[in-house]
Every structure is written in structure tokens, then in C-alpha cells.
Chains A and B, each alone.
Chain A
Amino acid sequence: MAQFIMIVVSAVFINNFVVVQFLGICPFLGVSKDCKSAFGMGLAVTFVMTLTCLITYPIYTYVLVPLKIEFMEIIVFIFIIAAIVQMIEMALKRFSPTLYNAMGIYLPLITTNCAVLGVAELVIDTSQIASLIGIAAGSMNIGYAVLYGLFAGVGFTVAIVIMSGMREKIARLNIAKSLKGFPIAMITACFIAMAFYVFALI
């Protein structure tokens, strides 16, 4: 149980994917103009990240490592992610058209989201992930990998929803011409990052 809480706190707050590790910045800035679509994007990314960890971790540990072709990991991972996204899209279209319409446009974007490839690369880097979630270096397994993927996605959702809420307010303000658009969004992100920085001090 303590281990579970440690993973949640580490993945969602201390090492938040967006504002601390800078992964998935593109959707964080691009799809955060209103709360509703930000939440949809967050859910879609969380789902894909969890599934990705579930598939890439065993493939790396039980296929690539025994065959000694670890250097193929980038190519294999990116194709797995593309396939997952494609299959989710088809499944959603078939079984839940409402959900498909709700997050349809965000799904293809997820393939090139660095948060997804980032989490796949992170969970196979045994020494780094072990120090992030505070377990012994050799005891990494698929359960931890999937949990980390899930809560990293939750962390992404939390960050993007906070960001969209702030941007909705900021959109009504009158700001300098050269700060409009990306710069003001980055400054907003700067304050969110400061807030998350507090968790790192725990």
C-alpha cells in the first residue's frame, strides 16, 4: 500500500510529466484553450499511456532483451504506439460513436505525443524508474510499469486541466501584443510549474 501511494505521489505530483519532466508540452499548449477538450485529451492520453506500458514493457523485457536487439526499441515502440492509437480509434468508432466524436480529433495526435513514447522509454530504464518511485533496482515488474503509466497520465490530465482553467481566465485580459499566444501561455505554465515545485521539496 505504501508503495502504491509512493507511485501515485511521485508520478502525479513530484515528477509530473508536463511541468517537471517537460513531456507532452505540445498538447499541453495546443489543446488547453477550454476545460472540456483539455479533459478529453487528458483522458485519451491516460488511456493510451496505460495501454502502452502494458504492451511495451513485456515486449522489451521478454522479446528484445533475450534476442539482444535492444537498440531496436525506438522503432518497435513507435510502431506499437501507432498501432494502439489506430486500434483504439477503430474500436471507438465501432462501439461508441459518441465517445469517438468527443475525442476523435485528439486521438491521431497522441501518436506523436512525447509523453507516450517518454513513459515507454522511462519504464524500461530500470535504474531511473526505481529511483523515481523508490523501489529496489531489481524489483521492477509489469505491475509497477502499468501503474506508473496510469498515474503519469493522471498527472498529465491534472496539469492540462489546471492550465486550461487559467487560460480561460487569461483569454479575457488585455495583454501586450508581443506576449499574445504562446508567450503568455508559457508564463502561465511557469506559475503552474512553481506550484508543482513545492512537491519536490517534500
Chain B
Amino acid sequence: MKTNVKKIAKDGLLSSNPTLKLVLGTCPTLALTTMAFNGIGMGLAVTFVLICSNVIISLLRKVIPDKVRIPAFVLIIATFVTIVRLALDYAMPELYESLGLYLPLIVVNCIILARAESFASKNGIFASACDGLFTGLGFTAALTLMGAFREILGSGKIFGFKLWNFSIDFFGSSAGAFFTYALFIAAFNALSNAVAKKKRAAEYKAAFAAELISDCCAEARPVECAACGDVKEGVKKAANGADKKASDGEKTETEIK
């Protein structure tokens, strides 16, 4: 079986991004995005655990009995989390300190168990490793972006370097964490809706060109004729869609301020 790396990469990073699309693993996302560096640290720790647990689970997928698979997965994940914890404590004590309680909590991070259950227990070793890598990178990217956003607005810094003296304390607080996360999911939804709309419009346009659905406008089929009208509208909307959604996002932000 040939592994479709490109599709796995697209799924993990964009179309089923664990943080922004599936909204899994929310606890570390909210707690550790006060600084961009924490986001990277947490993201990479999770990525490491994901790759290792995916590979081991994929290796053992024919050995583990179906009934005890969840405890077996948890045991494998807990082992790798312990390894990461000990390694970080030794190599980067500062990061270990700032991740604190959330490092052992990687065990109960839904992303890892979800990938084990839905991907690694059904696919080969290489595919599972790729899936772990890209899902982890999708998580890391989302955490780092949110961390940078909150760090810039909340303390006027980026990766610890001072940018300016302006800061809004709200974004550093716990309420700001929820607000930033909501904003990011909403922006991601708006973008993916706009892209999907554009794609659909292009498909319809192609269909029009081929005169595949032009005959539906005959008097005999009024229902489908209405669909035609929709289609034309859809093309128009898609063009405006992107700008409209972007301004929507800004509006909510300014309202709250």
C-alpha cells in the first residue's frame, strides 16, 4: 500500500487541524499560549510523544487484543510522556518549569489517544509516523501562532524580546486565553468556508461552461431552476466572501475592546 504523504500532511496541518478544526487538547492550548516559546515547547513535546506512540501502536496493532486496546494505548503514551518529562527536566529545566503541571497532562491529551485510535491502530508504520509528525506540527503551529498573538498584545514582546511599551493586560489573563482561542477558531472557520465556497463556485462555473446544467432551466423543472439561480448567486458571493468574513472578525475584536 502506497502512503499518501501529501494527503496526510494536508489533513494534519489544515483540514483536520487538531487545535483549530477538531478542538482537541484544549487545556494546554489555553494555558500555555501566554508566550510563543511555551507554545513551541509544548507543541514539540506533544509531537514527539505522538510520533513515538503512533509508531509503537502501529507496530503492535495486530498483537493488542481489541478489548484492552485503550489501557494498552494509555500505557504506551504514559511511557513516552515519562521519557519526555525526564529528558526536559535534564536538558531544559527552565522550559520544564514553565510547562509545569501540563507536561504530565500530555497523557490525557485527547489528540494523542484520538490519533492512536483512529489512525495508528489501522495503518502501517510509515504512514502512522507521518500522521504523528504532521498532526503534531499542526498543533505546534496553532499553539505558536496563538502564543505570539497573545505575547505581542499582552506584553509587547515576542519570544522574550521587547517590541514596544504598549500592552493590553487582558490578553495575558485567563479570559484573554478563551477570547484568543475563540478568535482563532472563528477566523479559521471563516477562511475555510471562503475557500470551500470558491472551490464550489469554480466547479459550478466549469459545469456551466460545459452546458451540463443549462438545460435544467427549461420550464418543466422549476425546482432545479431555482437551484440555478442559487448557483449564479453563489459565484458572486464567493468573490466577496473572503473580504466580508475578514472584516467580520475585526468587528468582533473592536466591539469587545
Contacts and interface: CB of A to CB of B under 8 A. Distances in A.
Interface stretch (B51-59, B81-89, B232-240): B81-89
Contacts of A183: 182-183, 185-186, 189
Interface in B93-113: 101, 104-105, 107-110, 113
Nearest to B186: A183
Contacts of B189: 177-179, 183
B239 to A, nearest CB: 18
B71 A187 contact: no
A121 B31 CA distance: 16
B27 A78 contact: no
Contacts of A73: 104
B178 interface: yes
A117 B175 contact: no
A114 B27 contact: yes
A21 B174 CA distance: 8
A75 B27 contact: no
| Secondary structure type dominating chain A contacts | helix
Contact of A186 (B24, B173, B185, B193): B185
Interface residues of B, number: 44
A89 to B, nearest CB: 14
6 contacts: A21-B31, A22-B26, A26-B27, A75-B75, A78-B78, A178-B190
Interface in A145-202: 176-179, 182-184, 186-187, 189-191, 193-194, 196-197
Interface in B156-192: 173-179, 181-183, 185-187, 189-190
A71 B83 CA distance: 9
B74 interface: yes
A29 interface: yes
Contacts, number: 118
A74 B85 contact: yes
A71 B181 CA distance: 33
B178 A178 contact: no
Q: Top 5 nearest A-B pairs by Cβ distance?
A: A186-B182, A190-B178, A193-B175, A22-B31, A178-B189
Interface string B1-44: 00000000000000000000001101110110000000000000
Contacts of A142: none
Contact of B182 (A20, A111, A190): A190
A187 B109 CA distance: 22
Contact of B105 (A114, A177, A189, A193): A114
A67 interface: no
B23 A178 contact: no
Interface residues of A, number: 42
Contacts of B31: 21-22
B104 A178 contact: no
A6 B8 CA distance: 51
Contacts of B186: 176, 178-179, 183
B245 interface: yes
Contacts of B182: 179, 182-184, 186-187, 190
Contacts of B86: 71
A40 interface: no
Interface in B111-127: 113
A121 B104 contact: yes
Nearest to B25: A26
B23 A182 contact: yes
Contacts of A21: 31, 101
Nearest to A184: B182
A187 to B, nearest CB: 5
A22 B174 contact: yes
Contacts of A176: 186, 248
A117 B101 CA distance: 10
A133 to B, nearest CB: 16
Contacts of B179: 186-187, 190
Contact of A193 (B101, B110, B173, B249): B173
A167 B181 CA distance: 18
Interface string A19-57: 111111110010000000000000000000000000000
